[in-house]
Amino acid sequence: MEDIIKTSVENESQKKSKIKPSVIVTAVIVLVILTVAFFGARPYIPFLAGGEESGPGSPGGIRGGAAPRIATAVRVTPVELGTIENSVVINGDVQAVNQVSIFPTVGGRISETHFNIGDTVRQGTVLAMVDPSRPGQVFSESPVISTISGTVIRTPVSRGDTVTTQTAIYVIGDLSSLMIETHVPERFSNAAQRGLGAHVFLEALPGESFTAMVDQVSPVLDPASRTVRIMLRFQGTMDPRIRAGMFATISLVTNTRENVPIIPRTSIINTYDSRIVFVVDGNNIAHRREIFLGLENEDFVEVLRGLEPGDLVVSQGQNFLSDGELVRIVN
């Protein structure tokens, strides 16, 4: 029995002797890992904590531990004195200046037509013949005479048709001088005055602009459409490519200011109750500036107060800026 007890004690002692070295080795390995991690991270601690010390291991060799200021890339536009126009865009149609309908003097059947669309006629020319005869009665044919010189625009009837004195036989217009008919909304009716300038764009001639001027203004508004009818005359030499009936887009200049500070519309940031821009000084620092606007159009705005000619206004990249931020100007 004693031998058995002695053997058990010896076995237990051997197990403990085997476990102890493995525990020691594990502890040593953990200690080494912690030591390496501590001393490896130590050079970065002053930089991350914003301390004053720096060493060879500090990133970028920054002294004082302060991170470098990152400049935001922006584009700037100088405030310049220029001309700005306020306009309203409306649609219209090109028409002949003088356009009339020709009516017969008697009713009857059209027996002859002498001209077609596009033909040129002179005042006093016989355009057609109307036979007023009835069954059992014979009358001499009556001529239809042009009252103006011009070009045949329309022929509403044909040979053999029966017409009355209220039926238009021909429509003739003077195409040597064209005008544009359009209607201005009631909101801008007071601005529509004779002599007002306009830019005209034609669907048939894309990319080209023509100048025109308001020549006629109706004294009353149309109660159905709430618009006022105006007629515009082309300025300068008449372009032969322009034809009556073309669709026109008119940019009617309702107001003009000259020699005023203007900036691009895209440089403005709209807030709840104000308009602001960012101005870059000589040290490339952006400053927030509230401005007050005058005339506006699709591309530019007039600055009444808040900027001076020569100020560099941020025109791209301003939405990501804050007051006093460092910027880098790019072309």
Tokens matching residue 96: 């002949």
CATH code 2.40.50.100 region(s) in the chain: 104-168
Rounded mean pLDDT of 194-220? Answer: 92
Helix (H), strand (E) at residue 215: strand 210-217
122: confidence class by pLDDT, cuts 50, 70, 90: very high
Which pLDDT does position 121 carry in this prediction?
93
**Six-digit token string for 56:** 């060879």
Q: What angle do CA 259, 262, 265 make, to 5 degrees?
A: 155
Give the length of the chain.
331
Asked if residue 320 lies in contact with residue 306, where contact means CB atoms within 8 angstroms, the answer is no
CATH of domain 87-94+175-256: 2.40.30.170
Q: Which residue has the higher pLDDT, 11 or 140?
A: 140
pLDDT number for residue 187 = 87
Cα–Cα distance between 278 and 306 in angstroms, integer? Answer: 11
Q: Which pLDDT score is estimated for 35?
A: 65
DSSP 3-state of 111: strand
Residues of the chain with CATH 2.40.30.170: 87-94+175-256
pLDDT of residue 14: 52
Q: What is the pLDDT of residue 130?
A: 94
Nearest-Å Rg of the Cα atoms of the chain is 44
Question: Which one has a higher pLDDT value, 45 or 180?
Answer: 180
Task: Say what percent of the chain tops pLDDT 70.
Answer: 80
pTM: 0.53
Is the pLDDT score of 161 beyond 90? yes
For the segment 124-139, the average pLDDT, to the nearest whole number, is: 90
pLDDT reported for residue 202 = 95
Portions of the chain given CATH number 2.40.420.20: 72-84+258-329
At residue 259, the pLDDT reads: 92
pLDDT, tens only, 208-243: 999 999 999 999 999 999 999 999 999 988 888 998
Give the span between the Cα atoms of 75 and 267, in whole angstroms: 10
Chain mean position to CA 243: 28
Give per-residue pLDDT as tens, 2-22: 454 444 445 555 544 554 566
Task: Kindly indicate the confidence band of residue 97, based on its pLDDT and cuts at 50, 70 and 90.
Answer: confident
Instruction: Name the residue among 29, 71, 69, 85 with its Cα closest to residue 286.
Output: 71
Instruction: Give residue 30's pLDDT.
Output: 67
| Burial zone of 4 (CB within 10 Å; 0-12 exposed, 13-18 middle, 19+ buried) | exposed
Residue 34: its pLDDT value, please?
66
Q: Quick one: average pLDDT of 111-133? A: 92
> Does position 1 have pLDDT exceeding 80, yes or no?
no
| CATH of 104-168 among 2.40.50.100, 1.10.3720.10, 3.30.379.10, 2.40.70.10 | 2.40.50.100
DSSP 245-311: T-EEEEEEEEEEEEEEEEEEGGG-EE-SS-EEEEEE-TTSEEEEEEEEEEEE-SSEEEEEES--TT-
User: The CATH number of 72-84+258-329 is which of 3.30.499.10, 2.40.420.20, 3.30.70.3270, 3.40.30.10?
Assistant: 2.40.420.20
pLDDT of residue 36: 55
pLDDT digits (tens, 9 = 90+) for 255-295: 888 999 999 999 999 888 889 999 999 899 999 999 999 88
Q: Residue 104 class from Cβ within 10 Å (0-12 exposed, 13-18 middle, 19+ buried)? A: buried
Q: What does the mean pLDDT of the chain come to?
A: 82
**Distance in Å from the first CA to the final CA of the chain:** 100
User: 3-state class of 144 per DSSP?
Assistant: strand
What is the pLDDT, as a whole number, of residue 246? Answer: 92
Report pLDDT for 22.
Answer: 63
